[in-house]
Each structure stands twice: as structure tokens, then as C-alpha cells.
Amino acid sequence: GDEMLKNIFFEVKKKFEAAIGVLRKEKITIDPDDPAAVSHYAKVMKTVREKADLFSESQRIQYTIQTRTQRIPDARTYLETLKEIRIKRGLTDDLGAEAMMSDALDKVEKELKKPLMRNDKKGMALLLAEFE
């Protein structure tokens, strides 16, 4: 256990040092009203994430979705898992997209007269068309 913790510590330290290395070289102006400053800040932070091998928030969410859903065979469980991930991340569904997708899934499953499986290409095409 100690060796594992030591390795984790060194990995985090390496990432931290890589991030600090980039930040020491770059001059950052914090001015939300200056589009050039905002663009430069975004570019520097992207470089920091790349050099330190860190995920952006959207990459972290994408990775979570991929790993948590890869073995889910049916569309309903997939959508429910996406909802759980959204809630755990503190993201809101202001547009009500989840309810609309659930309604679309209900309609497609009613047409198919069975649960929609993710490997059912025809059924998934119907669902995607219904999403549109």
C-alpha cells in the first residue's frame, strides 16, 4: 500500500511541476472584458492541461460517461446512467432534455414492443430520429 501511495504522490507531483513550469513562462492578464486576454488565458490553460496530462472538465465528463456506460446494453439504463452522472457532477438540465429523451425512448420502445438495446442499429436510428 505504501508503494502505491508513493507512486501516486510522485505522479501528482510530476503533473504539478509540469503545470507550474508552463505558468512560470507565460504572462497571464486576467481581464474578462478583453477578448485577447481571455483567449490567451484559455490557450495557456489548455497548454497546462496538455503538459501536465490533465483532463478538462468536459474531457473528464466524457471519460466518465464512456467508462460508466460501456457495458450497458439497453438505451433506458444508458439514459438513466447519464442522468446520475449529470446529478453527481452538479450539472442542471435547464432545457428538460432528459425528459424529452425519455419520452422519445418511450415512444420508440412502444413502436418496437420491446426494450431498445443499444446494439439495435435500426431501433437506435429510430430513437435518434425521434430526438431530432
Residue whose C-alpha cell reads 504539478 in the numeric block: 16
Q: How confident is the model at residue 54 (pLDDT cuts 50, 70, 90)?
A: confident
Q: What are the pLDDT digits (tens) for 105-128?
A: 999 999 999 999 999 999 999 999
1 has pLDDT over 80 = no
The pLDDT of residue 56: 80
The pLDDT of residue 49: 87
Q: 34 pairs with which residues across the strands?
A: none
The pLDDT of residue 111: 95
The pLDDT of residue 132: 87
Question: In angstroms, rounded to a whole number, what is the distance separating the alpha carbons of residues 40 and 35?
Answer: 9
Query: Percentage of the chain with pLDDT > 90?
Result: 77
Domain residue extents for the chain: 1-54, 58-130
* Ranges 23-32, 49-58, 72-81, 99-108: which has the least confidence: 49-58
CA distances from residue 127 to 8, 42, 46, 62, 110 in whole angstroms, order as listed: 43, 36, 35, 21, 11
79 has pLDDT over 80 = yes
Whether the CB-CB separation of 55 and 61 falls below 8 Å is answered with no
Q: How confident is the model at residue 59 (pLDDT cuts 50, 70, 90)?
A: confident
Q: 117 pairs with which residues across the strands?
A: 74
